């Protein structure tokens, strides 16, 4: 296999020479893997093969899937590579496992280098078209969403595709009221900046792209975090849009809103919803917009971050519309978001029914938060979802409310311990959820700390963005027949993740290998079923606001299946 891998590299080297026909282009220097990256890949593979809940051997079959995932990550819209590139690269589709196990990452790096060269060529061609202008008198069509389309078969087909893409960009600006001179200036800067960003990509970026192609091929919630990403884990994974209050993930090259933080500008604006895609970012109210489609997630984050009180403009592609839909612009003022902003809140409503007036207490819970630092320090007044809700329930009980509604819409989860304790406030000291690990061992998680705080009528309000701990709570309330579940089917994330520090495993004094977030267990409901994939199905359903195929666990092609037997 080693000789075949070397042969694959030689093929790629020839390809690189062919691509370099235009010596005037400023190609970035080829990236090379570092020794520690090859060792980190091997260490991560051993960890994933042995301890992942869905333990998949790193073999030729997985390598083939990894190859497809890697190309999808690099060129999701199939606008950079040619079909001839793919055909040549496909010689090594079953050898990426050898690259990892043999600690020789030249092959995936050569793929990345070819992608960079193609991207530089496309940006240069796009800029060359601008001085010619465009004629909009003839009818032409452009397929915007190309995920399911083939790669261009020839160089001529690729150039024609890019001519139409540039023409479309021009038309969008023209419809926005800009004159031709301004359009040339804006697009030239956009394409030039895109080319310059390619030159700033480091070997560590290429390595992380390849490793995440490997990890997400196994299962969608498994990721590799390089040393830089691991150091900024809280920002990258929890406060992806620091300053506006949203959690951001990458889906098919789009920076996609996964969660809106209560109290944050994004949530308070009322103009954004989970699943919306950010396609452009601008500073202030007048500066030009940077097109961020296809950008690395942390590069997009860097644009969205800023000083408290400053303004950011976001071009948004709504979750329920296609990629060729008209974008909308949302203007937000950044702010510092505190735990108080996202803490549980309650309000009592007077409702008139056929039986007279009723007082309904509504508790809005944005997340299952827990002040771990305060808990560790022994602070008797530390904040947590369960403690805060218990106080709100006592207050509403004193007001003689007739019923309670727990609003978990857009609650993406949080502390499992808080989900269990909060459930106990309504059902008492009973089993709440079961977990099954990779060995098939089942652990029953029971509430042992909280007593019933409300035994009257109750309901739970959920939507598609209610995930993880929210689903555990809603499922337990439903299984015990304790209250009605109202709204949309939930997200469907019924798995447990942990973060493994590769440097600690290797006993390194300094961080060089990074971390792996991997799925280690699956949740099961009290009734033996799971929230995985299907989510919690409400007893009283509302009309869904978005297509399940666009957002939620079922939107992932390789999510763990629904099962029972926990």
> Which positions are annotated as active-site residues?
468, 479, 493
The answer to whether 478 and 452 have CB atoms below 8 angstroms apart is no
* Closest by Cα among 472, 369, 470, 338 to 410: 470
What is the distance between the alpha carbons of residues 247 and 547, in angstroms, rounded to a whole number? 20
The answer to whether 516 and 222 have CB atoms below 8 angstroms apart is yes
Tokens at 36, concatenated = 């520690």
Q: What is the DSSP-derived secondary structure letter of residue 48?
A: H
The answer to whether 506 and 209 have CB atoms below 8 angstroms apart is no
Helix (H) or strand (E) holding 157: helix 155-175
Q: Which residues pair with 333 in a beta bridge?
A: 311
How many CB atoms neighbour CB 147 within 10 A? Answer: 11
* Closest by Cα among 123, 419, 535 to 291: 123
What is the distance between the alpha carbons of residues 79 and 76, in angstroms, rounded to a whole number? 8
The answer to whether 489 and 527 have CB atoms below 8 angstroms apart is no
How many angstroms separate the Cα of 247 from the Cα of each of 238, 240, 250, 300, 417?
6, 5, 11, 12, 22
What is the distance between the alpha carbons of residues 276 and 551, in angstroms, rounded to a whole number? 10
What is the distance between the alpha carbons of residues 522 and 43, in angstroms, rounded to a whole number? 24
- Count of alpha carbons within 13 angstroms of residue 22, beta-carbon side: 11
Tokens at 290, concatenated = 């940077």
What is the distance between the alpha carbons of residues 41 and 96, in angstroms, rounded to a whole number? 11
The answer to whether 281 and 315 have CB atoms below 8 angstroms apart is yes
**186 phi and psi, to 5 degrees?**
-65, -50
**427 phi and psi, to 5 degrees?**
-120, -10
């Amino acid at each position: 296999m080693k000789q075949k891998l070397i042969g694959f590299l030689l093929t790629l080297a020839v390809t690189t020479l062919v691509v370099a026909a235009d010596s005037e282009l400023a190609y970035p220097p080829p990236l090379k893997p570092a020794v520690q990256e090859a060792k980190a890949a091997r260490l991560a593979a051993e960890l994933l093969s042995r301890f992942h809940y869905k333990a998949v051997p790193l073999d030729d079959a997985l390598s083939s899937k990894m190859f497809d995932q890697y190309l999808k990550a690099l060129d999701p819209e199939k606008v950079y590579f040619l079909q001839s590139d793919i055909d040549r690269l496909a010689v090594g589709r079953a050898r990426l496992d050898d690259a990892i196990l043999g600690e020789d990452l030249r092959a995936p790096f050569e793929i990345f280098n070819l992608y960079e060269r193609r991207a530089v060529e496309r940006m240069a061609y796009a800029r060359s078209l601008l001085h010619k202008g465009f004629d909009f008198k003839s009818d032409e069509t452009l397929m915007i969403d190309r995920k399911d389309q083939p790669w261009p078969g020839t160089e001529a087909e690729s150039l024609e595709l890019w001519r139409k893409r540039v023409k479309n960009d021009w038309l969008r600006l023209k419809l926005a009221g800009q004159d031709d001179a301004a359009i040339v200036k804006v697009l030239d800067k956009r394409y030039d900046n895109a080319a310059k960003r390619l030159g700033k990509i480091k070997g560590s970026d290429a390595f992380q792209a390849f490793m995440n192609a490997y990890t997400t091929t196994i299962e969608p919630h498994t990721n590799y975090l390089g040393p830089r990403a691991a150091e900024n884990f809280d920002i990258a994974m929890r406060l992806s849009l620091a300053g506006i209050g949203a959690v951001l993930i990458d889906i098919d090259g789009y920076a996609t809103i996964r969660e809106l933080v209560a109290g944050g500008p994004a949530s308070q604006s009322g103009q954004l919803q989970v699943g919306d895609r950010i396609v452009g970012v601008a500073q202030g109210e007048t500066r030009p917009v940077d097109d961020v489609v296809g950008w690395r997630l942390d590069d997009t984050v860097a644009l969205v971050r800023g000083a408290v009180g400053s303004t950011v403009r976001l071009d948004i592609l709504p979750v329920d519309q296609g990629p060729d839909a008209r974008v909308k612009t949302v203007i937000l003022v950044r702010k510092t978001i505190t735990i108080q902003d996202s803490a549980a809140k309650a309000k009592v409503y007077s409702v008139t029914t056929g039986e007279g007036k009723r007082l309904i207490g509504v508790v809005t819970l944005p997340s299952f938060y827990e002040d771990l630092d305060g808990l560790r320090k022994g602070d008797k007044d530390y904040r947590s979802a369960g403690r805060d809700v218990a106080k709100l329930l006592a207050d509403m009980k004193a007001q003689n409310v007739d019923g309670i509604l727990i609003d978990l819409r857009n609650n993406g989860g949080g502390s499992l311990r808080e989900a269990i304790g909060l459930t106990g406030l309504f059902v008492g000291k009973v089993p709440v959820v079961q977990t099954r690990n990779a060995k098939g061992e089942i652990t029953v998680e029971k509430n042992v700390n909280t007593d019933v705080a409300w035994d009257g009528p109750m309901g739970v309000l959920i939507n598609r963005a209610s995930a993880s701990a929210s689903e555990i709570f809603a499922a337990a309330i439903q299984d015990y027949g304790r209250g009605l579940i109202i709204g949309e089917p939930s997200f469907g994330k019924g798995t447990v993740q942990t973060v493994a520090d590769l440097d600690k495993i290797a006993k390194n004094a300094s961080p060089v290998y990074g971390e792996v977030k991997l799925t280690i267990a699956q949740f099961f409901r009290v009734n033996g079923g799971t929230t995985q994939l299907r989510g919690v199905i409400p007893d009283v359903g509302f009309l869904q606001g978005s297509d399940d195929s666009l957002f939620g666990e079922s939107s992932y092609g390789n999510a763990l299946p629904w099962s029972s037997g926990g």
